[in-house]
Amino acid sequence: MKELTDSAWATTNRVDNTPPPAVLIELQRTAELLQRIRNYLTACAGIDTPMSDISGFRSIPVNRGVGSSDGSDHVRGMAADFKAHGMTPYQVCQALLPKLDEFGIGQIINELTWVHVSTKMVAKPINRIITIDRHGTRAGILQVRP
């Protein structure tokens, strides 16, 4: 839970990022999802594959501070961004694509420098698996250069 609520931006800007009680059950589901992902990536890689740079819950002020919209799944505790040791975000997304339903991933985004996963199923299937980079938002997990 600490990994999902710590925010460097909140600390730097002295903004509270304590999740409200209503969000805790969703954060628990998100934590369980991340654990499944870590276990799976570790099994795939054959070595422990810890996650870093995790951004999970963001209060509205924190979420606005990092430039995200109020409708973000992060505000509801239903999403997390992360990096996986020794793997590019593209590689992580490729590894997870066959496991979306089994793991309960409602949305996966290759965001170039990290991976975004959400437990919330998207309304439109075209938005479930996407890449966001300087070219914009595109369907599918695409290999892109920074």
Least distance between Zn ion and beta carbon 55 (Å): 6
Task: Find the shortest distance in angstroms from Cβ 132 to Zn ion.
Answer: 9
Reduced to 3 states, what is the DSSP secondary structure of residue 33?
A: helix
* DSSP character string of 117-143: EESSPPSSGGGSEEEEETTEEEES---
Question: Taking the complex as a whole, how short is the minimal distance between the CB of residue 46 and Zn ion, in angstroms?
Answer: 28
- Contact letters for Zn ion, residues 37-76 (x by CB under 5 A): ----------------------------------------
* C-beta of 81 vs 95, nearer to Zn ion: 81
Q: In sequence order, which residues have a C-beta less than 8 Å from that of residue 72 and are 6 or more positions away?
A: 58, 63, 79
Q: Cα–Cα distance between 27 and 73 in angstroms, integer?
A: 11
Q: Does residue 107 contact residue 122 with C-beta atoms inside 8 Å?
A: yes
Binding-site member from 81, 84, 130, 131 for Zn ion (CB under 5 A): 81
Toward Zn ion, which CB reaches closer, 76 or 116?
A: 116
User: Which CB atom, from 48 or from 113, has the smaller least distance to Zn ion?
Assistant: 113
Per-residue DSSP letter, 20: P
- Residue 35 — φ and ψ, nearest 5°? -65, -40
Residues in contact with Zn ion, counted by CB under 5 A, come to a total of 2
Here's the x/- map for Zn ion, 88-117, by CB under 5 A: it reads as: ----------------------------x-
The binding site for Zn ion (CB under 5 A) comprises 81, 116
